[in-house]
Amino acid sequence: MITPLPDSFRRYAAAIAIVVGAFFLKLLIQEFTGINHHPLLVLEFAAVIASAWVGGLGPGILAVALSTFLVDYLFIPPRYAFNGDIRVLPWFIEFIGCAIVGAFLSARQREAREALQKAHDDLEEKVHQRTRELEKVNAKLSSEAIERERAEEALHQLSAEHARVSRLTTMGEFVASISHEITQPLASIEANASASLRWLSNNPSNRAEAEAAILRILRDGHHAREIVEQIRSLLRKTDSQRRIMDIGAAVHEMLPLIDGELKRRGITVQIAMSKTPPVMADRIEFQQVMLNLALNSLEAMQTIDRKHQLSIRSQPAPSGGILVMFEDTGCGVGPNQVDRIFDPLFSTKSSGMGLGLSICRSIIERHGGKIWIHQSSPEGTVIHFTLPATAVPAGRPGVG
């Protein structure tokens, strides 16, 4: 590979070549036409201007010097020698002066043209650069969009997981009560089974007592199975399945889970579900909301200073859909806590994880409804929530 010659060298070489070329051209013209050499000096001027044009001021000056030398040496008598003929001196100076001015002007012209060209080139470069930058930004934006989509996907998955974990948490907080609900019928079943065996093996046997005990076994077994099914349906990891649902039935299905706890605390329950438009909801999620709200109410009603009541009512919402009201006679929520009570990880209970009500809110909002504290005082709390009557756009599949 040949190393390219320096630019300045090429420019000077070009100047020399042009001057020498012009010189030989002049010789040729003289030779064939016999024209006096003076008019042909115009060729030398042309060579100087061309050199300055091609190479700039430096090569222009070189061209001047070179052509001066050639003119002096070859054209000014005596030929082929430098001499000091005084008569041709003004003419000679004139030539040099014109040549220098010509070279100077030509070089300037050349520089201006180059500057223009450069400005043009710069502009084009800038446009290219901007285009590239825009392309980069565009690529970044689209990758961000993809990233965002992924994050949203992850968020949905997380929220499904959150819903499941929250179900487990709800159950965890409630497990003592639930285990009691199971052990009671189990204890009863065992006792009745032993009793019926004894009634039959006693002498004389007592068939009527044995049958009565066996009937109680059936009754308690059925009761225990109902409770187990309730728990399983709450713990199951399911996709959100929204169907037309009867709110009243859902409330009644939830009651056996808290029945024992209600009795032990001497809390009476009043349920008044009025005729409401059907709603689209996920039955299990909805039960979870009901259970969470009921659990909160129960915990708020631990004081024994008065008779406690939990009241669950529903009515058509003014905005369409249904309005469900949970009213307890518990200790209430402090005024400065009302705004934060639905926030995740906020709890007024020492043992609470602060998930219950935030889960309720996220479930209700996913269903297109709203949940709020209607009022709260030391005499009790009223929580309202709404669900829209018509089908809301179904959630993404996989969001539980």
Partner 1 sequence: MEIEPILIIIDDDLAVREGLDSLLRAAGQAVVTYSSASEFLTSEYITVPSRPVCILLDIRMPGLSGFDLQAELIARNHKLPIVFLTGHGDIPMAVAAMKKDAISFLTKPVRENELLEAVRTGCEVGRRWWLETQILKTKQQDYQTLTAREREVMEEVVAGHPNKQIAASLGITEITVKVHRGQVMRKMKVNSLAELVRAATLLSASKDDNLLN
Nearer to partner 1, 46 or 200 (CB): 200
Nearer to partner 1, 128 or 222 (CB): 222
For 29-59, give one letter per residue: b (16+ CB within 10 A) or e.
eeeeeeeebeebbebbbebbbbbbbbbbbbb
Nearest approach, Cβ of 267 to partner 1 (angstroms)? 9
Nearer to partner 1, 236 or 307 (CB): 307
Nearest approach, Cβ of 377 to partner 1 (angstroms)? 25
Residue 6: both structure tokens together = 């320096």
Nearer to partner 1, 105 or 228 (CB): 228
3-state DSSP assignment of residue 330: coil
Nearer to partner 1, 329 or 358 (CB): 329
Nearest approach, Cβ of 350 to partner 1 (angstroms)? 19
**Starting from the edge strand earliest in sequence, which strands make up the sheet with 268-273, in order?**
268-273, 309-316, 322-328, 380-387, 370-377
Nearer to partner 1, 37 or 219 (CB): 219
Q: Can you give the C-alpha Rg of the chain in angstroms?
A: 52
Which residues would be at the binding site for partner 1 (CB under 8 A)? 176, 179-180, 183-192, 194-196, 198-199, 202, 206, 209, 212-213, 216, 219-220, 223, 260, 263-266
The candidate with the shortest Cα–Cα distance to 251, out of 288, 302, 278, 220, is 288
Q: Is the peptide bond before 318 cis (omega within 30 degrees of 0)?
A: no
Cβ neighbours of 128 (radius 10 Å): 10
Beta pairing, strands 370-377 & 279-282: unpaired
Nearest approach, Cβ of 180 to partner 1 (angstroms)? 5
Nearest approach, Cβ of 334 to partner 1 (angstroms)? 28
Nearest approach, Cβ of 183 to partner 1 (angstroms)? 4
Cα–Cα distance measured from residue 150 to residue 231, given in angstroms and rounded to the nearest whole number:
34
